[in-house]
Structure 1
């Protein structure tokens, strides 16, 4: 199986090169890894031990960020290196202040793993949620470098638990400790004889609770909202936006803020076509009638987690595609949430539905009904916030475990 894995990695690299002239993400992926080891060796002193955090993308970064930041707070002299697999994480966090350096992760080959770990000289490696790379894990294991998976989550349909998944189970055997989100993950790992797993919950709860406790003041958003009730649509895709446009038309007394997942010019133009009376955030300050508009389109990245402070209800996008985005950011601010049908992979979404703080919808009729229900009784937001608060504490549990490796 190893030979097949190695071929797949090389094919992936080839596909990225073929698509890079036509796809911006592929282009960033390729350019960011060009001469990557020269960049690493120029910036990193390999004689100094480092703590290596790896994240698949921006969402995993925000998930693991509480651990990174608290670790740095408790051990300020420790040097941290961050790597990303995806451009959506690297391009936004490449200048992250608490890291000595931020890099793209080179493709997972035996040579790359050996060279990277020699350059990083990690005393500890921490991966968030998923990203299982055979050669990196094996190299860390052979050098006796502790490897942690935090906020991990496992499902029965994953290849680890299939009869033909022995190669992927081998990857898991290289992990020193798993910190997982739910009891199901603990039990699944036991079925493949992995006992080194701890139920810690999801570090995202710590992150979103902290964010909600110290909200940023956004003057232009305050001006737009005025005294009207506000509907926040976060991380939306076209299928979401078409439904929201219909909801907006039937609720003229509400203000709508739409923060799409993709903010390229083409997509922003599509959204403007759906909401012809909307104003873009980038032109808001110069428009004398800006506060009179009903719809505001957020055409930048980085504001969404603060926008929820101004909402009365939120719609979380992605539920008509690969899966919903982060519901917890909104719930932490004490507002109920709505999302599309693909949410089964997300425990918090299922929990929020169960306790009455969220609704899943498939069409405009269901969206109208969910909107009416969640804005009528008034206590769903409190239920959502209490749910988030009750799930905090994962970061402290992980840091307590790490203390055996990290002396002040």
Structure 2
């Protein structure tokens, strides 16, 4: 049955059904009466063959132009009903032709009412045509007329069942489509929320590893500078210089975070140089003893940044928590793995009880690059931080 608004897939299925129905209609509907009339008189033969050719042409026109038909489907079905009645009259019965043509009254209409009405008119014309052709007799009640009426009743029943099935299928399809659209919207919203959460986490990690550490250093240096302002003016000046440098570095990092500067101040292949500069600043600010083995290692940008952040976080923890007097930093590369080891002789801690944001941030940062962070420490035995990352080609 034709529906108002159809999806491309539904139109394709309907077109296939109509074409298969056309093949069956030609084979079992048009050919039998065309063959049967060949032995009739020339006038009757020519009349029936002309009608069959006409209705076949009309069927082709309607079938080939479903969107903008040259012949309206209801008009075609009206002509089909007349041809069925005329055929029944010329052949003295046309129940078989009516039965084969019956599906068209449901395929080419938009509502069951139109199908029932037009197929009923066609049934009446078929019975009337058969009666006119044969004349009235009691045998008609068990022949052409009864077959036509039974076929009409069966067609109505089957057509209504098919229509109900199609309607329910369309409603189910609409429900599934709506549910799918809602699911897609929820999935898109979830992806957006996940992306926003990941971006917030990234920014929090960057702020903690850069700006927050810098501000903490400024606070410590400012307190030390205030204490040394009178007793040790030279040391105070050095600490004020460190405050200025730290503030400038924080300003540069802030510009990176808001997108007005490149993503990192690291030049290609400069990890060792940057780590040495970081350690020099750490010695200047804290006065601790630092030993370092920093060979030049060719690493990609993300790996260099990750190792620098791990170093900065580890040194910040040494300054704030360890009470250490010496720090060791060793950078090595072996068999496609680069390792950064940072040790101190401080008071140590229980690793399992540590819930610091900085340590978790280091783990996540390394995990994003398929690396891992190993922390070994115990009370009174200092701390060892080992960051391991696979090496990649330089940017």
Please state which band the TM-score falls in when normalised by the shorter chain: under 0.3
TM-score (norm. length: structure 2): 0.23
More helix by share: 2
RCO (CA 8 Å, sep 6+): is it higher in 1 or 2? 1
More strand by share: 1
TM-score (norm. length: structure 1): 0.22
